[in-house]
Amino acid sequence: MKKSLFFIAILFSIIATAQYEIVYNLEKGKSYPQNQVVTSEQQQVINGMPQEITTIITTETDYLVTDVKDGIYYIDIIIKKMSNETKTPMGTETITSDGPESNAMNTIFKNMIKEPIKITMNKHGEILSFDNSAQLEGLTNGVEMPQMQLLQVEAALKKEMSAEKQTANYQQLSAILPKEKVAVGDSWFQSITVNSIAAFEATSNFELESVNDNSYIISSTAIVKSPDNASTNLNGMKANYSLSGPSSGTYTIDKETGWITSASIRQELDGDIVIEKSDMMPQEMKMTMKTQTTTVIE
């Protein structure tokens, strides 16, 4: 009996300390889906006037592995559908890539998904190259809008869709895997960039919470905080901002492929934005802002 108990204790000890190499193991020619819903609830107080805005961004995406060379994955990111729903006290506005072309922004969304984004990525999810030049070509083709307004919209979109920003956004989800083997309860750290009002740098702590027959369950926590004396450009006006908040997430990772099969990430930001007075803004404007953003992947 004592020997049996000793054997069971040893067995549990081995299971508890098992080491796992969690990496991407993707196959050439296969497509890996990642459908995402990002819901942002924003509460603003502008010069004493409260305002609430809810934005829901939905994307349906396939990651097609076109080649694998020396451990590097060559991937086409194919966005099949995207939409943006904004709710304000004035009403609800919906933009969607499969909506009627009578809405100019629907046409722009449709143009945005005509061509794939091409990336290369290593087995740890680090994006080594990012090319969305084809996606940016012809953004306003077929769009009926006054020329000046069209140029402004195109410039704003290209700024938000820059390769640098897009790389950071995609890598927030791809580069979450550990560089070394880990056991249940082990932690590792990754530097992340959160693109919100501006770019926020933070360090996220990841932990392997549990392992089952098919999946690894990983959790994450981080504190996102703007640097001291941070400022940004809002529609040509200088804005100083002080924002911070916690971030947390849970990811289910397929054991065979390393792919995220589901995830839920929550980000909070709270603080102030002060727009300096200028020719465009005769008086300084202070905005108190609180946002809660939830990202769900299925």
CATH number of the domain that residue 179 is part of? 2.30.230
**In which domain, by residue range, is 187 found?**
2-297
C-beta neighbour count of 226 within 10 angstroms: 22
Placement of tokens 């990525």 in the chain: 121
C-beta neighbour count of 159 within 10 angstroms: 10
228, 267 Cβ separation under 8 angstroms: no
Rg of the chain taking only CA atoms, in angstroms: 22
CA 294 from centre of chain: 10
pLDDT at 80 (0 to 100)? 96
Average pLDDT of the chain to the nearest whole number: 89
Domain count within the chain: 1
Distance separating alpha carbons of residues 295 and 297, to the nearest angstrom: 7
Per-residue pLDDT reduced to its tens digit, 218-265: 999 999 888 777 777 776 778 888 888 999 999 999 999 999 999 999
Q: Kindly state the tokens that stand for 58.
A: 């939905």
pLDDT at 20 (0 to 100)? 96
Element (H, E) at 223: strand 215-225
Distance separating alpha carbons of residues 76 and 30, to the nearest angstrom: 11
pLDDT at 6 (0 to 100)? 57
Per-residue pLDDT reduced to its tens digit, 193-221: 777 666 777 889 999 999 999 999 999 99
**At 255, phi and psi to the nearest 5?**
-65, -35
